Structure 1
Amino acid sequence: MANAIDPVELTRRLIACPSVTPADAGAMAVIAEALEGIGFTVHRFAAGGPPDGPIENLFAIRGSGGPHFAFAGHSDVVPPGEGWHSDPFIPEIRGELLHGRGAVDMKGAIAAFIAAAARIEQQTGTISLIITGDEEGPATHGTVALIDWMDARGIRPDLCLVGEPTSTHRLGDMVKIGRRGSVNIWIENAGTQGHVAYPHLAANPIPALVKALDALAALHLDDGNAWFQPSNLEITTVDVGNGATNLIPAVARARINIRFNDEHSGADLIELVRRTVAEHAPVATVRGVVSGESFITPPGELSALISAAIGKVTGLTPEFSTTGGTSDARFLSRICPVVEFGLCNATMHKLDEAVAVPDLHALADIYEEIARAALASPTR
C-alpha cells in the first residue's frame, strides 16, 4: 500500500487516548484515520447506554469476496491505578520498552496489525477489523453488538485472529486455541433476624449457607482433557452485613465463580449449584450469569498458518494452549474458527505496563505473514 505505518508511533498515539472502559477518548478516531489511509472502509457506531455505555465500536473492511480474514481487538483499557513511574497515558520509551496503559493489552497489537495491513497489496479476498471499546468491561455492548451488526449485513469472516497478549516469556511462544468458560453465581439464604440470646425466636441463615458452600467446594467437576485443564469452582465472597455483636442476621449471601472446560455448559453448572445448595439450604435462592461458554478451535488451518508465521519471524514453535481468562474470542467463536495471538502478557493490567519496541515490529511482521497466508487459503 502507498502509506507505510510505524507500529510504534501508532501505538503511542493510541496510548495517549485514556480509553478506560466505557470511555473512547479518541481511540477509535485514531484507528479509523489510520485504516482509511490504507484503503479500508470504516463503519463506526455506538451501542448501549449508562451505566455501561455508550460503547464505541468499529468495523473496517477492505477487498471483496473470499477468503475473508478478520482481526479482532479492543481499544479500551483497565484503570491505570496509582504508582506509575510516568503518566500512564503519556507514552514514554525507556530503553527498549514503550510504557503506557494499553501498550500490551492491546493497543500494541491493533497498531501492529494495521501496520501489517498497510504493507499488503491486496489482489483478492477480504480483510476486516472488528474493534470494540467494551472488552475490559461488561462486554455487553461491544463484540456482541458488532456480530449482530455484521449478521444484519451478511458479513461473516472465514477465519479470525484475536490480538490478545498470549505470549508468556518470548513473543511467539504461546497461541490460544480456546478458552474456558466462566459463570458467576449468587446465593442468598434468608433467615429470621433476632437477638443472639434468644435463638429460638430467630433463624440463623449462616450455618446452612456454610454447609452449602462446603458441599460446593467439595464438588469434583472433571479431570480436564486433552486441551483443557480441570474446571474449578471458587468461592469469591461471603457476606452477612452484620455490624452488631448481639444480632442474628436476617440474610447471608455468597458468590462463586466457576471456570469450566468444554465438558460442561454454563446452564448445567448453574443447575448443579442450585441442586447442591438446595440439599443444605432449602430456602436459598440461586442466580447465575454465564459470562461466556468454553470454546475450542482444534488445531487446523488457522493455527497452522499462525504457527508457520511465528516460526518464520522468530524461529519459535508456539505452544497451543487454552489457559487464562476469558476474551472476546468466546463470542467470535460462534461465527468462525478463532485463534488468539499477540504480545507478551507479563505486564498487562499492571503498573508501568510496557511493550518491547522490537516486539511491536516483529509482531507486525508476523501479522503480515498470517494475513498473506490467510488471503491465499482456499475460498470457502
Structure 2
Amino acid sequence: MTDAADLTARLIRCPSVTPEEGGALVLLAEMLGKAGFDVHRVDRNGTPNLFARWGAKGVRTFGFNGHTDVVPPGDLGSWSHPPFGGHVEDGIIWGRGATDMKSGVAAFTAAAIDFVTLTPPDGAVILTITGDEEGASKDGTPALLDWMTEQGERMDVCVVGEPSNPDQMGEMMKIGRRGSVTFHITATGIQGHAAYPHRANNPLHALTRYLNELIAAPLDQGTDHFDPTGLQITTIDCGNPASNVIPETATAVVNIRFNDLHSGASLIHDLTARADKLSAETGVALKIAADISGEAFLTEPGPFVDLVRDVVTAECGRQPVLSTSGGTSDARYIKDHCPVVEFGLVGHFMHQVDERVPENQVRQLKDIYQRILERYFA
C-alpha cells in the first residue's frame, strides 16, 4: 500500500517555490511510471506540469487535479522546523505545502496507484499536476488542458484536491467558485494650489465620489448557491507629499468577488459606464483597467456531486455543505473541460509559518479518494 503521509513528507522536502519544480514532479513521475501510468511532462514557457494516465483513451475517465508549487516560506527563523525538512513528529507533518497542497497531491496519487493496482478499473484515471498554481497560473493547468485537447485526452469528471474544510474533515466540499475581477481606476484632474481650488479640478473628489457610489448599495442579494457579490476597495493613493497642493492624478484599486448573476465582462461594462457618467459631470477623466482572474461557475448537484458527497459522509460521519465560498482555484479552468468539485483537507495552516498537517488526516483523505474511485467505476 502507498502511504500518502510518507509521500507528503517526501514532497515537502522538494523546495518547489513557484516557479521552481524542486524535484516534486520528478518524484511523482517516477512513482506513477512504476505503477503503469503513461506519464508526460507538459512544460510551457518554463512552467513545470505533469500529466499521467492509467488506462486507454476514449473510455470512461476520472480525473484528479492539484499543484506541487508552494508560496515562499518567509523568515526561516520563525519556523519551528525547517520549512522544506518534511519533519514528522507526534503524528504531525511540518513544512511548506503540508496543507496547501502537497498533502492533497500525495493523497490522490497514492489512492490512484493503489486503486489501479488492486482493482484495475474498466476505464481510465488521469492525474493533472501543475507547478504553477500559486503564481500567475497561465502556463499551469491551462497548459495541461490545452495539451490534453491536442492529444485527444479528456476527463469525464474531476476532483481538485485543494483544502476545502474549515475546521473538521467532511464539513464542506466546493461545487463552484465566485468569479474575481480587479479594477485599477485612474482619475486625472488639474493640479493647483489648495488655496485656489477654482483654478484646479481635484481628482480625489471625483474618485472618492465614484467609490462611495460603488459601495452605497449591494450589487445583489446572492443566489441559491452563492453569497451576495462582494466589493472591496483595497487601496487609494495620489502620491502627493504636499498638503497645500491639489494633485493631478489619483488612483484606486477595487476587487469584486462575484456570483453567477454577473460575469467579468458585465461588471467591467457597469463600472466603466459609471466612470464615464461621472467624468462627464465633473470634468475629471476616470479611466478603468480591469483584470479578470476567474469567472463564477457552478457544478450543478447531480450524480457526480452526490457520489462525492456520499463517500465523504460515509468516511467522515458528517454530510458536507455544498459551498461556493473562498477564493479562486484551478477549478476555474477545469470547469470548461468537465464537471469539477473540490474536496481536500482542513485548511487551517495554509500559507502560514509552521504550516503542518496530521498524518491521519492525509491518510483519511487518501481513503476518501480511493473510495470515490471505487464507487465511480463500480
Instruction: Sort the TM-score into its range (normalised by shorter chain).
Output: over 0.9
Structure 2 counterpart of 1:75, from 68, 76, 98:
68
Aligned residues: 368
CA contact (8 A) 1:11 1:103 kept: yes
Structure 2 counterpart of 1:206, from 204, 207, 213:
204
CA contact (8 A) 2:331 2:340 kept: yes
The reply on whether 1:111 has 2:109 as its aligned counterpart is no
For residue 233 of structure 1, give the secondary structure of its aligned residue in structure 2: strand
Q: After alignment, is 232-241 or 195-204 more displaced?
A: 195-204
For residue 358 of structure 1, give the secondary structure of its aligned residue in structure 2: helix
Equivalence for 1:332: 334
CA contact (8 A) 2:95 2:356 kept: yes
Structure 1 counterpart of 2:94, from 99, 113, 127:
99
Equivalence for 1:217: 215
AA aligned to 1:73 is: G
Cα separation, 2, equivalents of 1:142 and 1:62: 21
Structure 2 counterpart of 1:346, from 345, 348, 351:
348
AA aligned to 2:52 is: A
Structure 2 counterpart of 1:256, from 238, 254, 257:
254
Q: CA RMSD in A?
A: 1.4
AA aligned to 2:73 is: P
Cα separation, 2, equivalents of 1:203 and 1:174: 51
The reply on whether 1:364 has 2:366 as its aligned counterpart is yes
Q: Once the 2 structures are TM-superposed, how far is the Cα of residue 306 of structure 1 from its aligned partner?
A: 1.1
Stretches of 4+ aligned residues off by more than 6 angstroms: none
Q: After alignment, is 86-95 or 331-340 more displaced?
A: 86-95
Cα separation, 2, equivalents of 1:272 and 1:123: 50
Equivalence for 1:238: 236
Cα separation, 2, equivalents of 1:147 and 1:118: 22
Cα separation, 2, equivalents of 1:29 and 1:243: 52
Cα separation, 1, equivalents of 2:60 and 2:155: 8
AA aligned to 1:356 is: P
Q: Once the 2 structures are TM-superposed, how far is the Cα of residue 184 of structure 1 from its aligned partner?
A: 0.5
Q: Once the 2 structures are TM-superposed, how far is the Cα of residue 313 of structure 1 from its aligned partner?
A: 2.2
CA contact (8 A) 1:215 1:276 kept: no
CA contact (8 A) 2:62 2:124 kept: yes
Tell me the TM-score normalised to structure 1 length: 0.93
Q: After alignment, is 198-207 or 357-366 more displaced?
A: 198-207
1:77-226 superposed matches below 5 A: 77-82=70-75, 83-120=78-115, 121-226=119-224
Structure 2 counterpart of 1:19, from 16, 21, 30:
16
Equivalence for 2:288: 286
For residue 103 of structure 1, give the secondary structure of its aligned residue in structure 2: coil
CA contact (8 A) 2:178 2:328 kept: yes
CA contact (8 A) 2:66 2:162 kept: yes
The reply on whether 1:47 has 2:24 as its aligned counterpart is no
AA aligned to 1:107 is: K
Deviations 1:152-199 (A, max 9, x none): 112121100000100122112211011110001111011223333443
Q: Once the 2 structures are TM-superposed, how far is the Cα of residue 34 of structure 1 from its aligned partner?
A: 1.5
For residue 202 of structure 2, give the secondary structure of its aligned residue in structure 1: coil
Equivalence for 1:51: none
Q: Once the 2 structures are TM-superposed, how far is the Cα of residue 312 of structure 1 from its aligned partner?
A: 2.8
Q: Percent identity?
A: 47
Gaps of 5+ in 1: 49-53
Gaps of 5+ in 2: none
Equivalence for 1:60: 52
Cα separation, 2, equivalents of 1:308 and 1:141: 34
For residue 284 of structure 1, give the secondary structure of its aligned residue in structure 2: strand
AA aligned to 1:30 is: L
Cα separation, 2, equivalents of 1:77 and 1:159: 26
Cα separation, 2, equivalents of 1:23 and 1:203: 49
Equivalence for 1:319: 321
Deviations 1:331-374 (A, max 9, x none): 10011110000001111111211111101111111100111222
CA contact (8 A) 1:67 1:374 kept: no
CA contact (8 A) 1:175 1:320 kept: yes
CA contact (8 A) 1:68 1:375 kept: no
